[in-house]
Amino acid sequence: MENIILYVIVALGISIVLNLILKRFGVSQIIGYILTGTIIVYAFDLKAYNNSHSLEIIGEFGIVFLMFTIGLEISLAKMNTMKREIFGNGLLQVGVTAFVIYLITHYGFDYGVKTSLIIALAFALSSTAVVLSYLKSSKEIYKPYGQLSTGILVFQDIAVIPILILIGFLTTEGDESVVTILGHTLMSAIIVIGLLFIVGKRVMTWMLHFSASSELDELFMGSVLFIVVAASMLAHYMGFTYSLGAFVAGMIIAETKYHHKVESDIAPFKDLLLGTFFVVVGMKIDVLVLLNNVALIIGIFLAVLVIKSVLIYLLLRTYAPHRRSLKTALALSQVGEFSFVIFALASMGGILDAELAQLLVLVVILSMVVTPFFITRISPFVEYMSGRKDDLADMSSLSSKKDHVIVCGYGVVGKFVAQYLDELGASYMIVDNSPKHVNEAIRDKREVYLGDMSKRQILDAMHVQDCSSVIVTLDNPEKKRLICEAIAQNTKDINLIVKIISLEEREKLQDLPINVMIDGKEEVARILVERMVSCKLG
């Protein structure tokens, strides 16, 4: 017992020091955790514990909480507004990339069907952690290529769930054909997701409502932990991965008004357990394999980078401009952190040879180290090669904005609002999640940004806390509520003006701190009567 405590304390200290150093160089903390695991194994000669089942279970729950937080970000409403980016581009990218890499590994390198399938699916994924972190910090997430990249990354995160389930079936169903296993995977996933959405949604909403009304943070946190673990255990009991239950639970909570609080409260548990998972991955690394295969590892990494860049560019170029397609392709060309999970679980299940799994994990580590340095140079490189900059302005110039008006939406009403603000000489900016509307505003020579006002990141980028008013001109009731909730949670004493389309919608928004609700029908009726009173009979 004393030795275990010593190992934990030393691992914690090493990970803190390593990540502090790596952060100065812009390297992902995932690398710090992996190096910690490798150092601990060799420092205390713990190779005998590499395959500890208990340790693997603890590590797997890091993935459970990660998938739960991803589920919180992927609500049904978000998927509906980004159908093309997520399900169109994302499905094509993952499907085509996996197919091409499968052909190369199976026919070019003579690997078995299952091994080739696992490698293809893992290499088709990109790094959500690194790419999204950069896009958010640089504000390029609000540009067209940032939106394209985000949509594809969201689909990749969703795709992780069936991939993990597939690994489970490949492990347990032995000699069954891949087609049979894929069929079982699809049907079983539909059943579990259906049960969780139909039965689980009522239970989760009820628990969160009553724990939140108690105004005791520990009860609310306890309810969230119970939901995550219970949903995971239910999925596992029915023969699936723990991650499936957690992911669906996150999607369900994303539809409630508690999802922002849940996301912030769960973050420490997710980060701690996720770090444990990568420490376990690091414990399995053989330094001799790294030293003996440096050239091969670099070669595989470069080959994957080139293949993915070319394929993504060709897929997007069918409808998107050259520069946007090239930026997106380069941004998503690396191998992602979920490949660690796939290779680790496949190796544990005996699908991948242990030495091959070691080699592939080292390829992913190289990708994670190189990507933070590579991705920051994509936009300058493409802009230099094309000789011009993006049409959309950089949001870094907004840091000095104060007492400005934010117009949310540039549809018909938004255009009239902008016109009247011009007549008043007011300082304002427009935000819209539709590239079409953004391009229209650019043609009208207005200050406009592409983004979703229901997201905290864009609220911070627009300096909403320093603005004088926010005018919401959208028609979608669900999106309006999400935006108003986000503004209310992140600002105080904001002058919030919202266009509504019915009395029913007014009642639904009544609980939010909206200063003025403008009903179009009511205003038309009022103006008609005013004109009737003021007009002169001939």
CATH number where 314 lies: 1.20.1530.20
Answer yes or no: pTM beyond 0.75: no
Helix (H/G/I), strand (E/B), else coil: 7: helix
Specify if 169 maps to a domain. no
Residues 34 and 125 both lie in one domain: yes
Residues 413 and 379 both lie in one domain: no
Residues 423 and 364 both lie in one domain: no
Tell me phi and psi for residue 50, to 5 degrees. Answer: -55, -35
Specify if 106 maps to a domain. yes
Q: How far apart are CA 389 and CA 410, in angstroms?
A: 24
Residues 501 and 423 both lie in one domain: yes
Residues 358 and 470 both lie in one domain: no
Specify if 382 maps to a domain. yes
Q: How far apart are CA 535 and CA 108, in angstroms?
A: 83
| pLDDT value of residue 175 | 57
Regarding beta strands 405-408 and 428-432, do their DSSP bridges make them parallel or antiparallel, or are they unpaired? parallel
Looking up tokens 């205003």 gives 523
Residues 377 and 465 both lie in one domain: no
Q: How far apart are CA 362 and CA 127, in angstroms?
A: 15
| pLDDT value of residue 391 | 44
Q: What is the residue range of 357's domain?
A: 2-164+270-386
| pLDDT value of residue 53 | 62
Residues 290 and 146 both lie in one domain: yes
Residues 159 and 305 both lie in one domain: yes
CATH of the domain at 468: 3.40.50.720
Residues 447 and 502 both lie in one domain: yes
Domain-ending residue, one of 358, 386, 414: 386
Q: How far apart are CA 392 and CA 9, in angstroms?
A: 48
Q: How far apart are CA 192 and CA 404, in angstroms?
A: 48
Q: What is the pLDDT of residues 47-89, one digit of tens each?
A: 666 556 666 666 667 777 777 777 776 666 666 666 777 788 8
Specify if 190 maps to a domain. no
Tell me phi and psi for residue 496, to 5 degrees. Answer: -105, 120
Specify if 8 maps to a domain. yes
Specify if 338 maps to a domain. yes
Residues 342 and 405 both lie in one domain: no
| pLDDT value of residue 77 | 64
Residues 304 and 353 both lie in one domain: yes
Residue stretches of the chain with pLDDT short of 50: 1, 391-394, 396, 538
DSSP H helices in 139-177: 144-172
Specify if 146 maps to a domain. yes
| Domains in the chain, number | 2
Looking up tokens 């940032």 gives 146
Domain-ending residue, one of 325, 360, 386: 386
| pLDDT value of residue 29 | 76
Specify if 449 maps to a domain. yes
| pLDDT value of residue 182 | 63
Q: Which residues pair with 406 in a beta bridge?
A: 429, 470
Looking up tokens 């690394």 gives 285
Residues 338 and 406 both lie in one domain: no
Over its C-alpha atoms, the chain yields an Rg (Å, rounded) of: 25
Domain-ending residue, one of 352, 386, 420: 386
